[in-house]
Amino acid sequence: MRLVLVGPPGAGKGTQAALLTRRLGIPAVSTGDVLEGEIAAGSELGTAARGVMQRGELVPDDVVERMVAARLGRPDAAAGFLLDGFPRDCAQAEALDTMLAAAGRRLDAVVSLTVPDAQVLERIRRRAAEQDRVDDDEATARHRLQVFTEQTAPLVARYRRQGVLVQVDGTGSVDEVAERVVAALDAKVGR
Ligand code: AMP
């Protein structure tokens, strides 16, 4: 199954991605994690991306598109994958469609997790206290939410038009949300 998980920062995408991939037996591909890994490794890419990420802005499309193409080309992604944090804007969505079409494939479903802004900000604040992310202070959190609203949220309409959108209420406990996602996917693609 080829899936994309879309949602605002702090919507619980990473947590749900981990649960889903275990359940579905497909790898999770998180561009945020790959970029954090590049920063930790001190690579050229990581050094270039760090400032952009600290400001809560998007790393250039061509950089993440190349990262994703390389990752999806690995053998473990041949039977399916769950993308978390990609695509993030329309150009990336088009690049993904092109990548998949070149291999004769398409997305099976795009899960959009919806969480009200106030809850998202509260979750990010809590996470900032617990984790050591480069981009979790208050001002950056607000900016990331704005970037999501302006650049990523329009993807929902695109995927609705394509007939692959699955909208899921992202509020409540991790388990409740996971159950909703699985039920919605079952209904959509008959997994
Ligand atoms: P995330 O962990 O998905 O919230 O990503 C953390 C940060 O990594 C984002 O705020 C962006 O700066 C960068 N990033 C992750 N995925 C992408 C993407 N698909 N396109 C551009 N930037 C990204």
Neighbour tally for 95: CB within 10 Å? 20
Of residues 82, 136, 78, the one with CA closest to residue 104: 78
66 as an active site residue: the answer is: no
Give the ligand 1 atom nearest the CA of 68.
Answer: 19
Q: If you search the block for the tokens 């970037």, which residue do you land on? A: 147
17, 31, 72, 153, 178 from 23: Cα distances, Å: 10, 21, 19, 27, 10
Q: How far apart are CA 186 and CA 182, in angstroms?
A: 6
Write down the mean pLDDT value for the chain.
92
**Between these two residues, 140 and 39, which has the higher pLDDT value?**
39
Q: Could you tell me if the CB of 135 is within 6 A of ligand 1?
A: yes
Rg of the chain over Cα atoms, rounded to whole angstroms, equals 16
Q: What is the pTM of this model?
A: 0.92
User: 181 C-alpha vs ligand 1 centroid, how far in Å?
Assistant: 22
Res 109 pLDDT > 70: yes
The whole-angstrom separation of Cα 181 and Cα 19 is: 10
Residue 167 CA to residue 151 CA, distance in Å, equals: 18
Instruction: Reply yes or no on whether 105 is catalytic.
Output: no
165 with 112: CB under 8 angstroms? yes
**Percentage above 70 pLDDT, the chain:** 96
Is pLDDT of 135 > 70?
no
Residues with Cβ within 8 Å of residue 30, at least 6 apart in sequence: 13, 14, 17, 84, 85
Atom of ligand 1 nearest to the CA of 87: 19
Q: Is the pLDDT of residue 138 over 90?
A: no
In tens, the pLDDT along 32-51 reads: 999 999 999 999 999 999 99
